[in-house]
Amino acid sequence: MGYPVRLFRLSSLLFLFTVFVTGARLSAQKDVRSHDLAVELEHEDPQWPSIQAHLPDPATASPEKLETAADVLRARRFPEDALNYYADAMKRGANEVEILNKMGVTELEIGNHEIARAFFQRVVHVKRKDPEGWNNLGAVEYLEGQNGSAISDYKKAIKLDKRSASFHSNLGTAYFQIKDFERARKEFDAALKIDPDLMVHRGGPGGITMRMLSPADHARFCYELARLYAQHGDIANMLHYLTTASEGGFDVLEAMRHDDLLEQYRKDPRVILLVHNAEAIRSGHTPLTATTADLPPLPPTQN
């Protein structure tokens, strides 16, 4: 199935009316060859012939069918083909903002940060009050270490949609990255109140959800989550995230010593066990066979 080169076509379709047109277009033209090679590699996948047989004809299919095909291709890990179908869907009249957001997320997933940024910038240019576009733009900036810009964009997303758990979580993660733990806790708390299962799933209709931290920061991040779950009375998740923090090398017991909320659990047998097991795992020894679920908690009155 012959397509015009996707990046060049997107350049002419999307970027002519924006300030960043020249750089994006030149970059797109330089990437023509790498795009062709990426498509060829995708088509070497044994699944491709069976998938291709069910794809709609871009010349005649409705924008809805083309967008659905693109969603399927992206889910099946054929991102370059997905981008072609998203572009065709938009060409045939699909919702521009929705398609641009999906194309930006797809580009981000394959590591093309600058192209993703251009898509999200186009989104907020076309629809200034699109919360997902601001959130996704913030995600690109977060990935590139531009935490101040990311925080600003996440705040804009939240102002437009206060009920998105992923937006609050992203803002919390950006605050966490700059060591503003108080503001980070506030945003994570807001996120968990909206969606108690937020940490179990990622992404979805609320836009990109970011969690990219260094191993040391991730361990501290898990301690903060344990603290939040304790605050909400969810002891099972508190123990789970204390375990992850401890396994990541974070000194859980020392942190709990100076923590008004978690200090009451410092001598809890379940906490002692998870710390012991984490130390054993890190040192290459065999952890104890018991799990935290096997041990009773301390009596409520005991410190």
Residues 174-203 have a mean pLDDT of 86
Residue 61, token pair as written in the block: 């299919």
Three-class SS state of 16:
coil
Task: Determine contact, residues 198/172, Cβ cutoff 8 Å.
Answer: no
Task: Identify whether 188 is part of a domain.
Answer: no
Task: Identify whether 47 is part of a domain.
Answer: yes
Per the structure, the complete domain to which residue 75 belongs is given by 1-128
Provide the domain count of the chain. Answer: 1
High-pLDDT (> 70) share of the chain, %: 79
Task: Identify whether 165 is part of a domain.
Answer: no
Task: Determine contact, residues 210/246, Cβ cutoff 8 Å.
Answer: no
Using the predicted structure, report yes or no on whether residue 301 has a pLDDT greater than 80: no
Task: Identify whether 54 is part of a domain.
Answer: yes
**What pLDDT was estimated at residue 39?**
85
Residue appearing with tokens 């758990």? 165
- Average the pLDDT over each of 162-171, 214-223, 239-248, 279-288 and give the range with the smallest value: 279-288
The CA distance from 142 to 301, in Å, is 44
High-pLDDT (> 90) share of the chain, %: 70
**What pLDDT was estimated at residue 30?**
45
The CA distance from 211 to 233, in Å, is 24
Using the predicted structure, report yes or no on whether residue 299 has a pLDDT greater than 50: yes
- Residue 105 maps to which CATH number? 1.25.40.10
Residue 68, token pair as written in the block: 């659905």
**What pLDDT was estimated at residue 210?**
66
Nearest to 142 by CA among 171, 116, 115, 169: 171
List, for residues 187-199, the tens digit of each pLDDT value: 999 999 999 887 7
DSSP state of 287: P
List, for residues 218-256, the tens digit of each pLDDT value: 899 999 999 999 999 999 999 999 999 999 999 999 999
- Complete DSSP assignment for 225-280: HHHHHHHTT-HHHHHHHHHHHHHTT--HHHHHHT-TTTGGGTT-HHHHHHHHHHHH
DSSP state of 293: G
- Higher-confidence position of 64 and 303: 64
List, for residues 32-82, the tens digit of each pLDDT value: 567 778 888 899 999 999 999 999 999 999 999 999 999 999 999 999 999
Task: Identify whether 95 is part of a domain.
Answer: yes
Task: Identify whether 219 is part of a domain.
Answer: no
**What pLDDT was estimated at residue 212?**
64
Confidence of residue 21 (pLDDT cuts 50, 70, 90): very low
pTM of the model: 0.77
Task: Identify whether 295 is part of a domain.
Answer: no
**What pLDDT was estimated at residue 197?**
81
- Higher-confidence position of 289 and 170: 170
Q: What share of the chain is helix, strand, coil (3-state, %, to 5)?
A: 65, 0, 35
Task: Identify whether 59 is part of a domain.
Answer: yes
- Rounded to the nearest 10 degrees, what angle do helices 131-143 and 147-160 cross at? 160
DSSP state of 18: S
Using the predicted structure, report yes or no on whether residue 96 has a pLDDT greater than 70: yes
Handedness of CA 133, 137, 138, 142 (dihedral sign): positive
**What pLDDT was estimated at residue 213?**
76
Amino acid identity at 91: K
